[in-house]
Copies of this chain bind each other. A is one copy, B any other.
């Protein structure tokens, strides 16, 4: 019903007890709960045109409407202060009640940030966690991709009507999620992308999940709102740190200062969420391999550009011997040679 949002619906349910009783209530009684215009609209009864639209949408394969009264309504959302009374859903409805973790972050993420999002999501989904995110560009998209590539479960909570794909660049991803995972929205069909709807949407991302991992976020990122809502909902918040010189790590650092758990391996999350890891074969470690940690030349190199002379001084090796060793490491993809004869470790 146009103009009647989740909050008004919840107020009506609280006052009258069921949809049937709402529709049989007098306009006068409805006005005790709602402003005049909304009360009149409800008293006039359902709009046939909207009912037809929804009915047609529900005919399409995989589309569902889930209400607070349904068994498939996600249990965790019942714990949050303002649960959505109605969820439009497209895909595998059973994912709504899996153990879940939100994986979120900035839209303008760094390539390393997206890689981290994908790797953590793949590894966590192999541990049986459903990856919940917002299908935005950047970290969100990478999180869904990671779960899909690992053959795991993923839920996209979007801020538009389910008949609209936003952002348009994620059309293919949206189809993949609808096929192998689940897309949900509390917004009516046809609702376009509106800035004010995204923070509302974020409470569902965090509310569906037992924990919330922020992978990379600048200080303006909407994912910091998701993290705040997660705290308010009593969910554990995790954040991945980064270089203090990267603006994309600042949001995560701020969260850690405020009490979020610093995460540098998947195990940190599993420990906190009390999930026993699956067998080793199923869960490739995100840690550095031990041998590269102890290669003295890589240690001398560090992660910043270094000249051959400096490296010779640090390692005590001749430049001839160094050149040969560096070439091997470059071929192994562990370093890159930079202009001016400098070298930089990249793995």
Contact = CB atoms under 8 A, between A and B. Distances in A.
Interface of A: 108-113, 116, 218, 240-250, 253, 256-257, 261-265, 268, 286, 288, 293, 299-300, 302-306, 336-339, 346-347
B244 A240 contact: yes
A243 B244 contact: no
A262 B243 CA distance: 12
8 contacts: A112-B302, A113-B302, A116-B244, A241-B256, A242-B242, A248-B302, A256-B256, A305-B336
Contact of A336 (B112, B244, B338): B338
A175 to B, nearest CB: 21
Nearest to A292: B247
Given A250-B264, A339-B336, A110 B304 contact: yes
Contact of A261 (B112, B245, B257, B306): B257
Contacts of A336: 305, 338-339
B288 A264 contact: no
A253 B264 contact: yes
A198 to B, nearest CB: 20
Contact of A262 (B218, B262, B263, B288): B262
A339 B340 CA distance: 11
A312 to B, nearest CB: 15
Contacts of A299: 108
B302 A247 contact: no
Contacts of A116: 244
Contact of A246 (B249, B263, B303): B303
